[in-house]
Every structure is written in structure tokens, then in C-alpha cells.
Chain A
Amino acid sequence: MPGVLEIMRAGVGSTIQDGGRLLYRRYGVTPAGPMDRAAFRTANLALGNDSDAAAIEIGPGWFEICADCTIPVAFCGGAFNWTLDGKALGQAARITLQPGERLAATPGAWGIFSYLAVAGGLATQPVLGSRATHTRAHLGGLDGRMLRDGDRLPLSATSSFPQANAAITAPWLTGNSQPLRVVPGPQDDYFTADALATFFASEFRVSRRTDRMAYRLDGPKITHARDFNIVSDGIAPGAIQIAGDGQPLVLMADHPPTGGYPKLGHVIRADIGRLAQMRAGAACRFAAIDVEAARQAFISQEAAIARICDYLRGAG
């Protein structure tokens, strides 16, 4: 019989996510999916899972689980303090959980999200081909909502071989303050040259008004060259919208599929996760990059994640 993972403490804003609910944006459906895709895929691949298998995205708060079977798990993301029955495990590792053991995480020095993947993935009911939770539309996950204390999550695995304990030491799991790279457009012509220069030369701070849909940034006002209403068009993740107040709003995993504000540019896929991990008050800057360089950055990051075995260090 497949095992069950029990949520002892759900923490804050924890949800089930997979690679995202693709193919339905044309019907108004938000893809959702992980906020820090690189960390999410790393946790899955460290277990030999499909890189997009359903896993838990843990928000800032005290999170704790317990399994009723022997199950390998892997966790990584922001600098959370992970413990097993009170014993410190570091911020990123693969371990084999025994029945009744308590695995817990609390926020550490930096980061907003950590990911907990289980061997074989979670087996909650898919909706439109995905287990990703989109709370605003009440789709996916458990009844389309955040996890709660006492939730019981079905595992795919009926029995799992133990996997050796290992620390995950990947360089992309360390926060850094390099500028976030941005591909300009498609509506950069809605901004004055001065406004674009200001955007790329200034420091912004992540506002408190952030959630899975969008990160609002505080900084110098970015002026529109003309009307700031455009006829609604499609939205891709990382889109930098400038609304009427002149402040940037970066659209994240829960972005609506369409919107009506001009988009100055897009944070590149390889860097969206780094922004997702920035807490309120954190400073960030932006650097323009061309579309092909952005693509190469993503391909390099994906290739590194696929070589996860090079970044596992046995703990004995």
C-alpha cells in the first residue's frame, strides 16, 4: 500500500507544486509551479525523480512532517534549518526518512522557499494534468488550497529502497546579489529612454507586498512615455509590469495569463528563482541581456542541475 506523508506543521504558505499546469493559459488558467524552479528540480533529481514530480514548496514558517513508511526525501532551497528528530541536517540534503521520524524546517539566514521532494513524488489528484496548487483559482494540490496541519499526502511509492544520505552542495543554491538579468520588451517602447536608463542603473528593494503572483519593488519612479493602459495581451513568467504608480511589479509563478499594463522586460528564467528567494527589504539591481544570452544562461543552469550527482557529498 502506498505510504502517506503527514503534515504535522504546515508552516506559512506551503503548497504542493509540480512543473506547472501548462496548456490551459488560453482559458485563463495560471500555470503555478515552483517559485524557485532550480531548487525544486534539484530536490527531485537528487532522488532520481522526474524533475517536475509533485513536491512540497515550503514557505517561511515552522514546517514539520512525518511518514508512515521508509521513504527517501531531498530538500533544498533558501537557507532553512532542517532537523531530523531535533538533530541538525543543514539546508540541503538527501536522507531516508524512517516511519515516525520528525523532519522539520525553520527559516534561516536567507530565502523564502525551500522544497521537499519525496522518492516517486506525491500522488495527489491531478487537475488538468497537473498537481500544482493555484490557490486563487482553487485548483490542484489539496482542494486547491495551502497545506494545513494534519493534512495527509499520498505518496506514489509503495515501497522505496533507502538512498544514501548526502549533502547537496550546488552553487545555484547559495543566494547571491548579482544583478537580475532582464531581456527588454515587448513594450519597452512605452517608456522614455531616461526611464529605461533609470531602471537599469538603480537599486530597488523588494516590497512587503509580494506573494506567489507578483513581487512589487520599491525604487525610483519609472515613467511611461505614453498611456499606461494597453489592450490586454499574454503574460510570461518574469514579466516586469510598470503600473500607474511607476513602480515595477515582477510577475511570478502565479501570474495571470493575460494583463493590461506595459511590460518593460522579463527577468530571465535562470534568475527568477533568485528573485523569488529575496525577502522584503532586500536590494536588487537589473542588467539588460539579449535573448540568446538569456537562453544560454538557462541551458547552462539546466545542464548543471542535470549533473546533480556531481553535487552530492556523502555524509557517511
Chain B
Amino acid sequence: MALSSFAGIWLAAFLTLAIYSFLYKDNPVYRLAESIFVGVSLGYEIGLVFYRTIWPNLVERLLADPGPNWYLAIGGILGIMLYCRYIPKVSFLGRWALAVYIGYFVGVELMQRLHGDVLPQVRDTMLPLSSLSSVTFENLLIIVGVLSVLIYFYFSKPHTGILKPVSRIGVYFIMICFGASFGYTIMARISLLIGRLTFLVEGWVKPMIALISGSG
């Protein structure tokens, strides 16, 4: 085993155990591992964004052929303006850049949500109920669920009279949805545990035992 791999595996194992030590109680080793994680993540992201996006998509193109690529400079300048907020005298420039960004994002997101989210989902709720089959029952369940949950979130009228039992049905649908989400979330968290334990057993303990016993 190469020395770099050996050191890397021990470091990864140490950091994994350091993070899990929080389960016993908060301690300095956990905080050290947490700080390393935050610092490394941030540094990694800055480097990645610069070398994979800013350099090839902006700087390199402007340097190589500024004529047809002049418009890229607008984005670059707006990006730099965002950091003006740290200089009190010109901090207003940061707000201008932010305004452009928000304006663009809201405009794009609005149409995107409408065409990609709202309309397809509304269309998919318009389901046939004409025949007697299990599919019809499923369709009915979806329609009742959507309508009752919508009524539960309708706050312009007090939930009295007919609205009361309907919104109550909506609550049951919401509870089932929360239950499904919670179940899936547990599965996700257990998956992470599996990943770390598998690394500790297969990637750390077993190779080390093999190394010590001379078969690795």
C-alpha cells in the first residue's frame, strides 16, 4: 500500500470517528473535524468554481477572442460588483448587482415553475373517473387528496361547515405525506451510516489486519 493511500485512509478513519464521537457528547475532537470539513469544503468550492467555470468560460474566452465575447464581461463585472458590499463607500454597487441577479432569477423561475411545475401537475390531476377499476380508485384518491389539502391551505374563509370535514381529510393526507417523507429520510440517514461503516470495516480495519498479518 502506498504511503499516501495509507495516510489518507487513516486520516479519513480518524475524521469519521471524530464526527461520530459527537454521539457520546460534544468534544474538541468533533469540533476539530467539523472545522476541517467546513474549511476544506469552502476552499475546494472556490478553487473548483474558478478553474472550471470562471477561467474557461469567462477569462479564457475574453482573452482569446474579446470581439464576439464582449457581453461576457457584463456578467464578470456584475459578479465583481457583488463584492463591493464589503467596501462601505461603494457598497451600493453590490445591491445593483444583486437586483439584476434577483430580477433575472425571478423572471426565469416564474415561467419555469409555471410551465414545468404548475401546469403539468394541474394537468396530471385532471384524471378520468368514468370506469369501475382500481385505476379509477387511485385517480379518485389523488383528486380527493389534492382538493382537500388545497382547502386545508385556504385561509380566506374560516374552516367551518362543509370546509371543516374536508380540511380534516386534507390533514390526514398531509400526515401520510409526512410519514412517507420521514420514512424515506430515515432510509437516507441509515444509508450514510452504511457508507461510513462499510468504509471503516472494508477500507480501514480489514486492510490494516491484512497488512499486520502480512497478507496485504
- Chains A and B form a bound pair: no
